Chains A and B, each alone.
Chain A
Amino acid sequence: MVSRHPLIGLTDEEISNMLLEMGLKSIHELFEDVPPKLFMHGELGFSKPLTESEVKQAVKEILLKNEVLGEVKLFMGGGVWPHFIPSVVKEVLRRSELLTSYTPYQPETSQGILQALFEYQSLMAELLDVEVVNASMYDWATALGESFRMAKRITRKNKILYPHYISCERLEVAKTYSESSSIILQEYSQNKVDGSVDLEDLKNKIDKDVAAVYIEYPSYLGFIQTNIREVGEITHDYGSLFIIGVDPTILGIFESPGKLGADIVVGEGQPLGIPMSFGGPLLGIMGCRMDSQLIHQLPGRLIGLTETTRGERAYTMILQAREQHIKREKATSNICTNQTLCAVAVAVYLSLLGKNGIIELGKQILSRTRYLINRLSRIDNVQAPLFKAVHFKEFTYRVKNKKAGYILTELYKKKILAGINIDNFYRDLPEAILTCVTEIHSKSDLDMYAESLREVVEE
């Protein structure tokens, strides 16, 4: 048995003194109520205790087997996107006062995290143009699943309509969340040429049983649907809720979900200051209009600005009566631990960027996306993009007579992770590649992409 370990608080002498004081002979007496046959035979064998430097070496050795952005050029999005993260964001997250605190159940001693979360909610509310944003969900996909359940609770209807070109993985998660609540999901069509919503199809499918209509903005494939406003109007005509799923980096340039008629907004906060980290942690954005019915059915924590009994400004968790620790089986959701620190990262990021920074970020991405699309479209046999629409951050393309898998493999040989093979995602988009461009890609990166693709295509 190890007698000294840096992560154990008591010394052997302290242990003896404590046992003596309690009148015990050994620690084992404290386990005597456990039926003897339940005890493990022998020790856990997975490892001996390692020193700090040994652990670091062991973990780093394994991680060396990764090949990452920086060593390769990476043009992959599809739910997690490569973006620049200012040092200030990382520095704030390393503050161990924030890092090593628990959920702020004692608000008087936790004002720091509470104010930071209130500011996250408030900054995100400005960006989305809604009044209420919760303190976070796990990711866009789980926020989406929760939004479907929320819509069902509010409308007491059980059908949800979603777009054809939805992210398949996000849809799968939303289905998992929906199925156990007996929600029926039904797809509506999108125009094959420009990706806009097929309003006729939507009108055919929407009826009095529809709780909500969901749309992604931009679409999973990077194009902006031009008739999103009309979709909202049709949805509201039927008394259904309009849910917009958003990548918030578009919101410096493109109209806000609030102005487009959203009742509930979900989305992914990762692009605003959170690293990719092999897909987690992410940040589920979830907000709604300031409507008593909506806000009382909103899952997750909410932080509010209020006062102390002495009249000073202070922050605390509000409307906890919706949550599992009070309402138990009648709660709006089971969520407890969320993605708080990621929300703080986004608060810092948005504070740094401010109004002009968000607009500038949008311009950076919009211009670069279009630049790469144009470069690729000039290559013979390359069809880019596959939709005639404005694209933001992501777009699809295809090479005639060459498989998507082949193209991506060949580009990887040139140290380019060129996109996601979405060949089997949608029946109508065979051999398509989804590529992502952000502010981290210099023009020469984009030129290199185009040149490399030309070489592969012409081979």
Chain B
Amino acid sequence: MSYRQAKWIEPTIFEMSRSGAVGVDFPEIDEELQRELKEALEEIPEGLRRRELSLPELSELEVVRHFTRLSQMNFSISTGMYPLGSCTMKYNPVMNEELAVDEKILNVHPLQPVETVQGCLEIMWRLEQVLKEITGMSRFSLQPAAGAHGEFLGCLIIRAYHRDKRLHNKNIMIVPDSAHGTNPASATMAGYEVKVVKSDKDGCVDINQLEKMVDEKIAGVMLTNPNTLGVFEKNIDKIVDIIHGVDGLLYYDGANLNALLGKVRPGDMGFDIVHLNLHKTFSTPHGGGGPGSGPVGVVDKLVDYLPSPLVNYDESRKIFYLDYDRPKAVGKIKMFYGNFNVLVKAYAYLLRMGGEGLRKVAEISVLSSNYLLYKVKRLKGVSLPFAPEAPRKHEFVVSLSKIYKETGVTAKDIAKRLLDYGFHAPTVYFPLIVDEAFMIEPTESESKKELDNFFNVLSRVIEEAYSNPEKVKSAPHNTSVARIDEVKASHPKTMTPSWRVYVKRGSKL
């Protein structure tokens, strides 16, 4: 159980600068081009010429070494288990990366004539067909670059639909108290007032409260199911009836669909709009924070409102094309057609798994999660709030509040201490309805041995919390750096968002 993350004393790229060093070469500018250059430069008004520029200067090797060292100081799925709840850190097949650097992807301009991009369009079209089948939706837009981007689009579609139906007073979006932060933020961005519905004792939407909240002003509800506690909303039928009863729409936050793949479809549950995170459920890498992809699917009655263009197939001409002739479409939310490179990786993953494989993903991710829960909830100081007997799905949330009360060690401290043993920490303090929340999602990628290792380490850390709390509170000890002073980092007097701010302050932190 010993682990030590790489630690380089690596200066910033600015401190490495050596005047005159170059890391890249350019073709020669011949005499004729020199003349053009001279004349062009003379034509630029004096006030528009740049006089100062302080970028660092390095050789190619220095750049390679610098970024290689930085990468070594970064925990990743390739490094170890990443049970970060709600983030679905499953294995990202290396095969996809090889495919995605194909010149036939990288060197395509989005505005090329349609007959020269048939490959791209066909991949988008085929991916859409698969996503439709998985979710039970009628059509998808692949435009959103991320889950939250998809949520924003979904909310805009709800607005467009209600406007079209002349239901102008629908200005409230309901969001559960267990929802992801992006849900209320997206609804607000789309112009809605957000009202929060509480969770009941089982961790599900409180139906009684929902019924009382609902009136003709309700535009819809944004739900995650299984919700962020990992619990399946058993009253989904009732929720659907209540919301549809006032002409509201149901938005499915499918950022994380792992548990239901090939088993239950959002469309069959009664949802009208779904977004998926291809960088979670469909294995495209998260890249340290992006790029992702958050396609949005809708039922029949909402297809007209999806943003243009959609990819269609013209049977007579045997050609895929981009359809812009869609008068009711909401406005574009991004340049061009989406993060195409990510779409290719997701499509390759879907082929690799096939329908059967996806169902297996659902079952194994749920089994692995419940297996860990079965063991973890028996640990000293750990409790399972909400519906203790109900199985969880792909993830579960335990509370460490008893440990905190008995030892002063917080969920954050335990999370930091796990880093010392070569595991990424679970998500902490989310969902907000659980005290000292600890949200674990093992995914289908890990072996039993690794699940057991994780459990053993967690159990050891909790023992440490009782026997040697200072060790846990001062963790981590084995990572590239020790615990960070978050207050100082964001304090107005010491905040340093760029190198030039640091230098201007006299190179002091």
A141 touches which of B36, B261, B335 (Cβ 8 Å): B335
Q: Report which of A79, A303, A350 forms a contact with B335, defined as CB distance below 8 A.
A: A79
Picked from A56, A68, A357, A359, the residue with its CB within 8 Å of the CB of B104 is: A68
CB contact between A108 and one of B116, B152, B416 (< 8 Å): that residue:
B416
**Interface size of A in residues (CB-CB distance below 8 Å):** 206
Query: For residue B359, which residues in chain A have a CB less than 8 angstroms away from its CB?
Result: 1, 43-44
Q: Write the nearest CB–CB distance from A262 to chain B, whole angstroms.
A: 14
Indicate if the CB atoms of A40 and B263 lie closer than 8 Å. yes
Q: How far is the CA of A202 from the CA of B133 in the complex (A)?
A: 52
CB pairs A–B below 8 angstroms (28 shown): A27-B366, A40-B263, A49-B357, A66-B104, A96-B94, A97-B78, A99-B92, A102-B82, A106-B419, A111-B480, A112-B70, A112-B71, A176-B331, A252-B53, A254-B44, A255-B50, A278-B120, A282-B335, A290-B501, A305-B12, A318-B489, A337-B279, A341-B289, A358-B53, A367-B34, A367-B36, A390-B43, A417-B116
Contact A334 B335 (CB under 8 A): no
Which of B48, B84, B122 interacts with A102 by CB under 8 Å? B84
Determine whether the beta carbon of B486 is less than 8 Å from that of A364.
no
A312 contact set on B, CB distance < 8 A: 481-482
Hey, what's the 0/1 contact readout for B100-123 against A, CB within 8 Å counting as 1?
Answer: 011111111111110011111011
Q: How far is the CA of A318 from the CA of B497 in the complex (A)?
A: 8
Assembly CA distance A27 to B292 (angstroms): 31
Counting chain B CB atoms within 10 Å of each CB, the highest count among A72, A76, A102 belongs to A102
Contacts of B44 in A (CB 8 A): 224, 253-254, 390
Chain B positions within 8 Å of A70 at CB level: 103, 107
Q: Does B399 touch A at the CB level, under 8 Å? A: no
Q: Residue of B at shortest CB range from A67?
A: B116
A121: nearest residue on chain B (CB-CB)?
B498
With A52-B95, A292-B492, A439-B26 as given contacts, are A329 and B194 in contact (CB-CB < 8 Å)? yes
Chain B residues 218-240 with CB under 8 Å of chain A are 231-232, 234, 236-237
A412 to B117, CA, bound (A): 14
Determine whether the beta carbon of A340 is less than 8 Å from that of B289.
yes
Q: Which listed residue, B49, B134, B445, touches A7 by the CB 8 Å rule?
A: B445
Question: From residue 299 to 341 of chain A, which have CB atoms closer than 8 A to chain B?
Answer: 301-310, 312-314, 316, 318-321, 323-331, 333-341
Q: Say yes or no: is B325 at the interface (Cβ < 8 Å to chain A).
A: no
A443 touches B32 (CB 8 A): yes
Known: A7-B353, A316-B486, A324-B181. Contact between A367 and B347, CB under 8 A?
no
- The A-contacting residues of B in range 118-137, CB under 8 angstroms, are 118-120, 122-123, 126, 129-130, 133-134
Chain B residues contacting A74 (CB-CB under 8 Å) are 107, 109, 112
Contact digits for A111-134, partner B, Cβ 8 Å, 1 yes 0 no: 111011111011101110001110
Shortest Cβ gap from B57 to chain A (Å): 4
Kindly state the separation between the CA atoms of A445 and B130 in the bound complex, as whole angstroms.
Answer: 42
Q: Point out the residues of chain A lying under 8 angstroms from B237, CB to CB.
A: 35
Please name the residue on chain B nearest to A109 by beta carbon.
B75
Contacts of B70 in A (CB 8 A): 98, 111-113, 115-116
Chain A contacts for B262, CB-based, 8 A? 40, 43-44
Distance A417 CA – B57 CA, assembled complex (angstroms) = 36
* Max chain B Cβ within 10 angstroms of own Cβ: one of A316, A334, A357: A334
Please give the distance in Å from B248's CB to the nearest CB on chain A.
Answer: 18
User: In whole Å, how far is B36's beta carbon from the nearest beta carbon of chain A?
Assistant: 4
Find out whether the CB atom of A176 lies under 8 angstroms from the CB atom of B497: no
Q: Which residues of B contact A319 (CB under 8 A)?
A: 490, 495
Most buried by A among B109, B347, B393: B109
B251 to chain A, nearest CB (A): 13
B363 → chain A, closest Cβ, in Å? 5
Taking CB atoms, residues of chain B closer than 8 Å to A443 are 30, 32-33
Q: Scan B392-412; emit 1 where CB is below 8 A from any A CB, else 0.
A: 010000000000000000000
How far in angstroms is the closest Cβ of chain A from B18?
10
Cβ contact within 8 Å between B390 and A340: no
**Which parts of B304-348 form the interface with A (CB within 8 Å)?**
307, 330-342, 344, 347-348
B41 CB–A CB distance under 8 Å = yes
List B contacts of A186 (CB < 8 A). none
Binding stretch for chain B, among A82-90, A156-164, A208-216, A450-458: A82-90
Docked complex Cα distance between A2 and B358 (Å): 10
A106 near B391 with CB under 8 A, answer no
Note all chain A residues with C-beta closer than 8 A to B340. 277-280
Q: Interface 1/0s, chain B 361-379, versus A by CB < 8 A?
A: 1011011101100100000
Which of these, A22, A80, A301, contacts B374 with CB under 8 Å? A22
Residue numbers in A under 8 Å from B54 (CB-CB): 126, 355
Interchain CA distance A335-B151 in the complex, whole Å: 10
In the complex, what's the smallest C-beta–C-beta distance from B438 to chain A, in angstroms? 13
Q: A98-B70, A228-B48 are in contact. List 7 more A-B contacts (CB 8 A).
A: A63-B119, A69-B107, A97-B78, A98-B71, A112-B72, A123-B55, A305-B509
Q: Is B356 an interface residue (CB 8 A)?
A: yes
Q: A351 within 8 Å of B by Cβ?
A: yes
Please tell me if A427 contacts chain B, counting CB pairs below 8 Å.
no
Measured between beta carbons, the chain B residues less than 8 angstroms from A123 are: 13, 55-56
Decide if A44 touches B355 in the complex (CB within 8 Å). yes
CB <8 Å contact, A108 and B445:
no
Most chain B beta-carbon neighbours within 10 Å: one of A1, A31, A32? A31
Q: A46-B350, A63-B104, A66-B120 are in contact. Are A295 and B497 (CB under 8 A)?
A: yes
Residues in A whose Cβ lies below 8 Å from that of B425: 105-106
B466 at the interface (CB under 8 A from A): no
Contacts of A408 in B (CB 8 A): 113
A128 → chain B, closest Cβ, in Å? 10
Decide if B509 touches A33 in the complex (CB within 8 Å): no
**B153 CB to closest chain A CB, in angstroms?**
9
A contact residues around B446 at 8 Å (CB): 9
Note all chain B residues with C-beta closer than 8 A to A193: none
Contacts A111-B70, A334-B186 given; does A88 touch B23 at CB 8 Å: yes
User: Given the complex, which residues of B lie within 8 Å of A357, measured CB to CB?
Assistant: 22-24, 26
**Residues from chain B with Cβ under 8 Å of A80 in the complex:** 109-111, 335-336
Q: List the B side residues contacting A56 at CB < 8 Å.
A: 95, 98-99, 348
Q: Is A172 an interface position by the 8 A CB rule?
A: yes
Which one of A100, A278, A329, A352 lies within 8 Å of B286 (CB-CB)?
Answer: A100
Contacts of A254 in B (CB 8 A): 44, 48-50
- Stretch from A239-247, A368-376, A379-387, A396-404 at the B interface: A368-376
A204 at the interface (CB under 8 A from B): no
Given contacts A55-B95, A180-B190, A278-B336, contact A31 B53 (CB under 8 A): no
User: What chain B residues lie within 8 Å of A116 (beta carbons)?
Assistant: 67, 70, 288
CB–CB B489/A354 < 8 A: no
A336-B147 contact, Cβ under 8 Å, with A251-B50, A417-B109: yes
A253 touches B151 (CB 8 A): no
Once the chains are docked, how many angstroms separate the CA of A176 from the CA of B353? 37
Are A101 and B448 in touch, CB under 8 angstroms?
no
Contact across chains for B364 and A122 when beta carbons are under 8 A apart? no
Q: How far is the CB of B440 from chain A (nearest CB, A)?
A: 14
The answer to whether B350 touches A98 (Cβ under 8 A) is no
Most B CB contacts (10 A, CB to CB) among A22, A55, A348, A363 go to A55
Closest 10 CB pairs of A and B: A279-B336, A44-B355, A279-B110, A112-B74, A176-B331, A340-B289, A341-B287, A352-B23, A281-B291, A49-B354
Given contacts A9-B450, A55-B351, A253-B49, are A361 and B26 in contact (CB under 8 A)?
yes
Given contacts A1-B359, A76-B112, A337-B290, contact A62 B119 (CB under 8 A): yes
| B184 interface residue per 8 A CB criterion | yes
Cβ contact within 8 Å between B290 and A340 = yes
Give the distance to chain A from B176, nearest Cβ to Cβ, in Å.
12
Q: In the complex, what's the smallest C-beta–C-beta distance from A146 to chain B, in angstroms?
A: 9
Chain B residue at smallest Cβ distance from A332 = B185
**What residues of chain B lie closer than 8 Å to A47, measured between beta carbons?**
130, 350-351, 354-355
Query: Which among B58-66, B208-216, B456-464 touches the partner chain?
Result: B58-66
Pick the contact of A107 from B347, B363, B484 — CB < 8 Å? B484
B40 to chain A, nearest CB (A): 5
